[in-house]
Amino acid sequence: MKYAYYPGCSLDSTGIEFNLSTKAVCKALNVELWEIPDWNCCGSSSAHVTNPYLALGLPARNMAIAEEAGLDVAIPCAACYARSKNVELAVKESDDTRRKVAMMIGREYKGESKARALVDVFYHDLGTEMIKQKVQKPLKGLKVLTYYGCLFVRPTKTAFDDAENPISMDEIMTALGAEVMSWSSKTECCGASLSACKSTVGFPMIEKILDDAQKSGADCIVTACPMCMANLDMRQEQIGKKKGVHYGLPVYYITELLGIALNLPPKSLGIDRHFVPAIDLLNKIEPTTGGGGQ
Amino acid sequence: MKRVGVFICHCGTNIAASVDCAQVAENLKGYPNVVFSTDYKYMCSEPGQEMIKETIKREKLDRVVVASCSPRMHEPTFRRCIADAGLNPYLLEMANIREQCSWVHPHDMERATAKATDLVKMAVAKVSHDAPLAKSFSPVTKRALVVGGGIAGIQTAIDIANNGYQVDILEKQPSIGGKMAQIDKTFPTLDCSACILTPKMVEASSHPNINLITYAELEKVEGYVGNFDVTIRRKARSVDLNKCTGCGTCWGKCPTKVDSEFELGMTKRKAIFTPFPQAIPNKPVIDREHCLKFKTGKCGLCQKICPTGAIDYTQEDELVTTRYGAIVMATGYELFDHSVYGEYGYGKYPDVITGLHFERLINASGPTMGKIKRPSDHTEPKNVVFIKCVGSRDETKGKAYCSRTCCMYTAKQATLVREKIKDSNVYVFYMDVRTPGKGYEEFYNRTTETYGAHYIRGRVSKITQDGDKLRVRGEDTLLGRPVEIEADMVVLATAMVANADAAKIAQLVGFSYDKDDFYTESHPKLAPVETHTAGVFLAGACQGPKDIPDSVAQAGAAAVKVCALLSKDMLETEPITSEVDTKTCAGCGHCVDVCPYHAISLTTIEERLLGQTITRSVANVNTSLCQGCGACTVTCRSSSINLRHFTNEQILAEVDALCQTIQNK
């Protein structure tokens, strides 16, 4: 199983542990990742508020290189995924757009190489049965909340899972042996960059998610989006302090917990790089002998 | 040489404002076959018609063209008019110079006048080729079938029966009563639904002219207006209705419990059951899917204890064919399945219920004996949120139309919550409040003013389960800000939709339905209870969302139409039907396939050819069934099938007339 891949800006900086764990887990699961040479930023929100063609051209270039290599692209970051999927659909929908995009980036992208979210690849291409087979250290007793945020499930055009009740991460976590708790903020927006540029709006959005998470009685939150991670992990203490609460809720990338279940060392996955200490909780999980899913 | 008279109508200024009518009349003078041409202000008026009659006599006209409005409007008027003057009524043509000319070309009199002239010339060409036609007659079976035993069907049947005609009510459930039997109170008077329905049910069952056929379905409909041969499948009840006294011993002892359909799964019924205590007939059926006797062969308890020996496990479905003069469709509606609304929990939150669930919850004989309790933990809710337009007016997930009844039943339910739970808070999310009915607006005002329900204009974007509470988030679009309400229970006013099998039944009976599968009336204003199929009428919500008063009114209207039909001994049939030229018909059968009324079949004829007798297949039209649509004539490859009054020759004469004027330009 081989996919083109690129870390994107987040996984190269604030979300470095997502990159470490993605690579480690894919290796362990025999998913070969071919890093797109000279990949560029997907443009994120900045591009599509600037110019609609800039927003198409930037991700199209990465996709075009993958298409030349004949590979679909497995994308860890939610924003990179949404932007790339968007251009894939746009060039398939309109010849005019396809031609304009080709003119901009100086190469053809026909939409044949598909943008795939990494979670989607795990869920649909590997399948939960196969993942279960590979589990060495079931996450027994770990109560997790799956947090999808916006970009994997909205808009429905680019979504790979149900908009209101996505289940892909739930089923992967169940396959790992964790207990998936139900809660009401599963697909709420974390406010994205509003926490930086307009914190009076952004912070209450994060606060609501953390409050919901705490109420649910779960041990931790699992996500696949570097923006959500930054908001829930980095801002957690700041927001807690303001209202005199200590949340103490570790937030994990889904690849980190996959890595733990595959019995990879936490540090190799970057779990020591979190703001909210995240290793202690995992140390409580007892490795079972003999391997195999339980 | 034909003698055609041409009469151009001004229709006040409707036509005359953009068509120079006098000029059109002038243009027609001297046109082939035209011996008289004039214009007049209102041709349909008494003096207008008198003028036509006098002119026919004076000028010895043998055909007439009236240029005015659509033939749908006044063709019958002018046919009568020329018949009074002694002409065959089918020697009339109407040129539609209003809807198809003046109204669509209001600002260009010169060209509109030229177009009107062309239209009239075409009509003259056609009328010159028209042949006199005569109506024929067929007998009428004086018995009606009402399909559906809800309030609309019951009322239709009672009204027909009171006029002295025999009626059968066909109901697929074990009891008549329909949705109204499930409703608690009715707006705007808040009288008990069952209390006003059950007397009607009793009247229907005891009326000497009404025959109830319950637990039965339509199987096949053949024939035509006045003589429908309807085959009904009487499903095996496993209970002999003649022996059963309805004592209830059987369902008292039956060991199998099944979710009650009538209580929407909120309580259990037995495998041998009547749907509700006031059921009519109050005699049970065995649900063979769940009955132990049918599943495992064991049990048989009901048969052992039945004091009259009415239980019969060997009963089988029975097909019965009966002839009816008229059919009334009163098959009702279903509620929209809100599980497509992920934002409302995909139908998975136990305390998010529909309006009909609420009716059962508040009903004294319902699962909670009329105490409003949450389905999840049976506690009394304090904060109740109502959401309107769930599935209605939402093209992305539901239906484009307004369901008409929800505004009022939501107001009613909001009132009842406030009345029964004194310290409750009621919130109603709405898009618009539509209360067009007698006493409706006043009722809604009482709901907000006297009962203090909080109406919030906006849609709910999301409901989340938060512990044992529901968090309802939406927008107050009047204040322009988001609102969030912690609710104990949410009631969804789900859309009224056509029955899942509505289209199938319409095809079976042979009439048309709309894109939402509601049955199509013949004319939205002037023929609201007729269908396009003669002898088939509509009552109640199968035609479109409707409340009880409207359903009952429509039932009465349908009954009158049925009685008008059944009061005749013989039925006039329209002569505009297809006929087959068997000399050229090759018997290919294409016309049989396209005929929407199943009026054409293939028959075998014998003929002498070169001294030998041969047999061959040709098309044959049943003129009683033929509605004159013309689909067969355009399908026929050898032009062997022709529609009377719209023959190929007549249509081509019109085309020729038009082409000549084009050529002259």
Q: Give B499-534 pLDDT, tens digit per residue.
A: 999 999 999 998 999 999 999 999 889 999 999 888
Six token digits for residue B141: 């079976």
pLDDT at res. A289: 53
Cβ-Cβ contacts under 8 Å, A212 against chain B: 466
How far, in Å, are A182, A220, B472 from residue B465 at the CA level? 9, 20, 9
3-state secondary structure of A93: helix
How far is residue B67's CA from residue B65's CA, in Å, rounded to a whole number?
6
Instruction: Report the amino acid identity of residue B620.
Output: N
pLDDT at res. B135: 87
How far, in Å, are A159, B155, B348, B495, B527 from residue B524 at the CA level? 43, 22, 39, 21, 6
Cβ-Cβ contacts under 8 Å, A208 against chain B: none
Q: Which of B342, B346, B471 sits opposite A184 (nearest CB)?
A: B471
pLDDT at res. B427: 98
The whole-number average pLDDT for the span B396-418 is: 96
Domain end, chosen from A52, A83, A118, is at A118
Inter-residue contact B122 to B32 (CB < 8 Å): no
How far is residue B242's CA from residue B544's CA, in Å, rounded to a whole number?
37
How far is residue B87's CA from residue B64's CA, in Å, rounded to a whole number?
9
Disruptive mutation site among B340, B466, B485, B490 for chain A (greatest number of A CBs within 10 Å):
B466
3-state secondary structure of B218: strand
Task: Label residue B238 by pLDDT band (50, 70, 90).
Answer: very high
pLDDT at res. A284: 80
Q: Please give, rounded to a whole number of angstroms, the shortest distance from the CA of A165 to a CA of chain B.
A: 7
Question: How many contacts (CB atoms, under 8 Å) link A and B?
Answer: 17
One fold for B236-316 and B335-497: no
pLDDT at res. A291: 46
Residue B85, classified by CB atoms within 10 Å of its CB into exposed (0-12), middle (13-18) or buried (19+), is middle
Task: Label residue B410 by pLDDT band (50, 70, 90).
Answer: very high
Please provide the average confidence, as pLDDT, over all residues in chain B. Answer: 95
Looking at the fold, whether A90 and A143 belong to one and the same domain comes out as no
Disruptive mutation site among B346, B464, B472 for chain A (greatest number of A CBs within 10 Å):
B464
Q: Which CATH superfamily is domain B335-497 in?
A: FAD/NAD(P)-binding domain (3.50.50.60)
Looking at domain B578-644, its CATH architecture is 2-Layer Sandwich (3.30)
pLDDT at res. B665: 67
- Residue with token string 């011993």: B249
Contact A215 B343 (CB under 8 A): no
Phi and psi for B234 in degrees, rounded to 5?
-85, 110
Cβ-Cβ contacts under 8 Å, A163 against chain B: 342
How far is residue A233's CA from residue A242's CA, in Å, rounded to a whole number?
15
The whole-number average pLDDT for the span B385-393 is: 97
Q: Please give, rounded to a whole number of angstroms, the shortest distance from the CA of A93 to a CA of chain B.
A: 21
Query: Is A293 part of any domain?
Result: no
Interface of A with B (CB under 8 A): 162-165, 182, 184-185, 212, 215
The whole-number average pLDDT for the span B111-132 is: 96
CATH assignment at residue A14:
1.20.1050.140
How far is residue B68's CA from residue B16's CA, in Å, rounded to a whole number?
10
B129 Cβ under 8 Å from any chain A Cβ: no
3-state secondary structure of B638: coil
pLDDT at res. A288: 63
Inter-residue contact B632 to B579 (CB < 8 Å): no
Tell me: the pLDDT tens digits for B6-28?
A: 999 999 999 999 999 999 999 99
Task: Label residue B1 by pLDDT band (50, 70, 90).
Answer: confident
pLDDT at res. A294: 41
Task: Label residue B431 by pLDDT band (50, 70, 90).
Answer: very high
B396 Cβ under 8 Å from any chain A Cβ: no
Cβ-Cβ contacts under 8 Å, A167 against chain B: none
Six token digits for residue B597: 């009324």
Disruptive mutation site among A145, A156, A184 for chain B (greatest number of B CBs within 10 Å):
A184
The closest alpha carbon to A112, from A46, A48, A66, A58, belongs to A66
H helix runs in chain A, sequence order = 8-12, 16-28, 44-50, 52-68, 78-93, 95-105, 118-120, 128-134, 168-175, 194-197, 199-216, 226-229, 236-242, 254-261, 266-269, 279-283
The contacts of residue B394 (CB under 8 Å, 6+ apart) are none
Distance from the Cα of residue A185 to its chain's centroid: 17
How far, in Å, are A1, A125, A266 from residue A134 at the CA level? 16, 15, 17
How far, in Å, are B238, B284, B291, B512, B553 from residue B269 at the CA level? 17, 11, 12, 38, 34
How far is residue B388's CA from residue B368's CA, in Å, rounded to a whole number?
24
Looking at the fold, whether A79 and A198 belong to one and the same domain comes out as no
Domain end, chosen from A118, A145, A166, is at A118
List the 289-348 stretch of B: residues with Cβ below 8 A of A: 342-343, 346
Share of chain B above pLDDT 90, in %: 91
Inter-residue contact A223 to A253 (CB < 8 Å): yes
Tell me: the pLDDT tens digits for B561-570?
A: 999 999 999 9
Classify domain B236-316 at the CATH topology level: Alpha-Beta Plaits (3.30.70)
Query: Is A102 part of any domain?
Result: yes
Q: How many domains does chain A have?
A: 2
Task: Compare all CA atoms of chain A with the CA of B470 and give the residue at the minimum distance.
Answer: A184
Q: Which of A163, A182, A185 sits opposite B342 (nearest CB)?
A: A163
Six token digits for residue B539: 């009552």
Looking at the fold, whether A66 and A108 belong to one and the same domain comes out as yes
Contact B464 A182 (CB under 8 A): no
- Residue B625 in this model has a pLDDT that exceeds 90: no
The whole-number average pLDDT for the span B159-170 is: 98
3-state secondary structure of A11: helix
Task: Label residue B661 by pLDDT band (50, 70, 90).
Answer: confident
Q: Please give, rounded to a whole number of angstroms, the shortest distance from the CA of A184 to a CA of chain B.
A: 5
Phi and psi for A120 in degrees, rounded to 5?
-60, -40
Count CB-CB contacts under 10 A for residue A263.
14
Domain end, chosen from A93, A118, A143, is at A118
Task: Compare all CA atoms of chain A with the CA of B340 and give the residue at the minimum distance.
Answer: A164
The whole-number average pLDDT for the span B480-509 is: 96
How far is residue B604's CA from residue B587's CA, in Å, rounded to a whole number?
9
Is the pTM higher than 0.90? The answer reads no
B464 Cβ under 8 Å from any chain A Cβ: yes
Contact B467 A162 (CB under 8 A): no
Tell me: the pLDDT tens digits for B241-267?
A: 999 999 999 999 999 999 999 999 999
The whole-number average pLDDT for the span B255-282 is: 95
Task: Compare all CA atoms of chain B with the CA of A166 and give the residue at the minimum distance.
Answer: B342
Domain ranges in chain B are: 4-133, 136-235+318-333+498-573, 236-316, 335-497, 578-644
Looking at the fold, whether A173 and A278 belong to one and the same domain comes out as yes
Query: Is A7 part of any domain?
Result: yes
The whole-number average pLDDT for the span B102-111 is: 95
Count CB-CB contacts under 10 A for residue A160.
18
Q: Please give, rounded to a whole number of angstroms, the shortest distance from the CA of B349 to a CA of chain A.
A: 12
How far is residue B377's CA from residue B486's CA, in Å, rounded to a whole number?
17
Q: Which of A165, A185, A212 sits opposite B342 (nearest CB)?
A: A165
Residues of chain A with pLDDT under 70: 287-294
Instruction: Report the amino acid identity of residue B183.
Output: I
Q: Which of B342, B346, B466 sits opposite A184 (nearest CB)?
A: B466
Inter-residue contact B373 to B146 (CB < 8 Å): no
Task: Compare all CA atoms of chain A with the CA of B348 and give the residue at the minimum distance.
Answer: A165
Tell me: the pLDDT tens digits for B357-371?
A: 999 999 999 999 999
Query: Is A288 part of any domain?
Result: no
Six token digits for residue B630: 């013309």
